[in-house]
Amino acid sequence: GRALLVLLLSAAVSLLGGLIFGYELGIISGALLQLQADFQLSCFKQEVVVSAVLIGALLASLAGGILIDHHGRRRAILVSNLVLLVGSLLLTLARSFAVLVMGRVTVGLAISVSSMACCIYVSEMVAAHQRGLLVSLYEAGITVGILLSYALNYVFADVDEGWRYMFGLAIAPTAMQFLSILFLPVNPVKLSSWDSDCQKGLIPLQDTEDRAAAKREPYQEKHYSFLDLFRTRDNMRRRTLVGLGLVLFQQFTGQPNVLGYASKIFHSVGFQSKSSAILASVGLGAIKVVVTLVAMALADKAGRRVLLMAGCVVMAISVTTIGLTSRMAPLAMARDCKAATGPNASHSLTQHPLTAVLPQAAVSPVPPVSGAVKSQAGPGFAATRSLTEVFASTQSKEVVPNPSLTQKRDLVGQSKKGTRQSVGPPLGAAPWAQHTVLNWITLLSMMAFVSAFSIGFGPMTWLVLSEIYPAGIRGRAFAFCNSFNWAANLLISLSFLDLIDAIGFSWMFLLYGLMGVMSVIFIYIFVPETKGQSLEEIDQQFSRKR
């Protein structure tokens, strides 16, 4: 009974940790629409509010590893829960822009520490044959959290100061996680000594060999300094290479940006109604949840390496296909936020197509249908762009633009009229509407990309990172790789529009395809299979191999 209870509580901690993470990343897209009206946020201030979480997360990933290694995984999760409660209260009660930003940074600090500590804690709590399933549950939690945030964005869209409820509701899962972990034993693999519960054999969670190996572990425990990550001792340099390679390829295959144009693609395929954007975000979100559940089931059977390679192959094919189809049936991209700020907004909006193609689609990813302006800039619309937050994923310039289109009702009206006049041909005659087959291929490629990411890089990166380092430095090593993940994410999101300006949309996606091919080669050469092995066996395997 005790074993089952610990197993269920470990699963709850993993799932709730992911749910909070996904929710906090997804909720801003809908909240931003209301915040912008209530606080009169300029484009720059909107970007600050969105990226404050990333700054907090980056700071926490630099320092969080020390907390996790020196004070234990369980305590780190409890502390992150308390910090998250403070951040959520600050956001809920915010009366000024400064408090809003402070709350977002605090939330970023908390979800970053929690994300690292949860994966490590759960990987150390459970048996080798269950580890893949339970650590992947974290990723499943993220996808559910993002979907939940979209649903609540929609529910509170028309409520006065609805953003306070959106931010405040994060308190519920945080409190539940706090309570769940209070009933769990102190983390078994600790630097000092075994937890007394495990010594008494009260937790027969791991099988006999695992337990024998784990009981030996503290006595063989080695102490590592941070610089050992870059030394040849115990082959630590190769482990660091594997960790950094996985997190950087996870970002450089284009994951933060590919879904930024989901609503445009859905629209071009023929979902002309005003709900097309909500359909895009919720539909792709649902696909994510289902595929992540499949990945969880396969993690301990097929193995991490196989799922990573299969996911990368499909991702490379998908983005290459999107790149090729967009050369034949171009989609115009616009810098909505920058464009809609000046007095001549209606004119400037048509001057910023990112690819030198059609200005008529340049106003917004879903071209205006009369009478639908308000709903298109609604929560589902803005939320589409935050779908990219699979794990440690961000929203930056791509999320911010949408709300600015509703900055002033009359401004949108002007821009709509202005664009209509400057364009000439009616919406139905848009050249990309004639490429039905190509548009469907693009849509299916996007779905394939989402599925491949959710089965490979999404869950497996964090699972492998929580396994490949020795217990003595696991927290700091995970945090070190995680900081590169956040930094790469920030870089990719911020440079995306400038890169499209420089090389064009289709070349950008072909570049992502090339990175996908390189990631397959990297995984084949450097990443070992870790399924079914105890953490000690994985450690020995790495120590022996050159």
pLDDT digits (tens, 9 = 90+) for 30-88: 888 889 889 988 888 888 898 899 889 999 998 899 999 888 889 999 999 999 999 99
Residues 133 and 55 in one domain: yes
Asked if residue 43 lies in contact with residue 91, where contact means CB atoms within 8 angstroms, the answer is no
Residues 186 and 256 in one domain: no
Q: Between residues 216 and 51, which one has the greater pLDDT?
A: 51
54 CB neighbour count, 10 Å cutoff: 25
pLDDT at 99 over 80: yes
Supply the pLDDT for residue 85: 96
Task: Dihedral sign for Cα 15, 20, 26, 31, please.
Answer: positive
- Residue 534 structural domain: 226-333+433-545
- When pLDDT is cut at 50, 70 and 90, the band that residue 493 belongs to is confident
The C-alpha atoms of residue 115 and residue 133 are separated, in whole angstroms, by 16
Residues 104 and 252 in one domain: no
pLDDT at 366 over 50: no
Residues 111 and 180 in one domain: yes
Residues 326 and 450 in one domain: yes
pLDDT at 324 over 70: yes
Domain boundary residue, one of 190, 215, 239: 190
Domain boundary residue, one of 190, 215, 245: 190
In a domain, 510, yes or no: yes
In a domain, 44, yes or no: yes
Give the total number of structural domains in the chain: 2
Supply the pLDDT for residue 273: 61
> For the ranges 49-63, 178-192, 265-279, 352-366, which has the lowest average pLDDT?
352-366
Residues 67 and 163 in one domain: yes
CATH number, domain containing residue 73: 1.20.1250.20
Residues 133 and 7 in one domain: yes
To the nearest 10 degrees (0 to 180), the angle between helices 128-155 and 379-386 is 150
In a domain, 338, yes or no: no
The C-alpha atoms of residue 14 and residue 514 are separated, in whole angstroms, by 34
In a domain, 140, yes or no: yes
Residues 186 and 237 in one domain: no
In a domain, 357, yes or no: no
Residues 182 and 233 in one domain: no
In a domain, 138, yes or no: yes
In a domain, 160, yes or no: yes
Residues 36 and 87 in one domain: yes
Mean pLDDT estimate for the chain:
75
- When pLDDT is cut at 50, 70 and 90, the band that residue 277 belongs to is low
Q: What DSSP string describes 74-107?
A: HHHHHHHHHHHHHHHHHHHH--SHHHHHHHHHHH
pLDDT at 379 over 60: no
Supply the pLDDT for residue 320: 94
* Percent share of the chain, pLDDT over 70: 70
pLDDT at 480 over 50: yes
Residues 175 and 320 in one domain: no
Give pLDDT tens digits for 426-435.
444 455 556 7
- When pLDDT is cut at 50, 70 and 90, the band that residue 140 belongs to is very high
In a domain, 206, yes or no: no
Domain boundary residue, one of 190, 217, 244: 190
- When pLDDT is cut at 50, 70 and 90, the band that residue 537 belongs to is confident
Residues 175 and 239 in one domain: no
Give which of 10, 72, 119, 125 is closest to 534, Cα–Cα. 125
- When pLDDT is cut at 50, 70 and 90, the band that residue 14 belongs to is very high
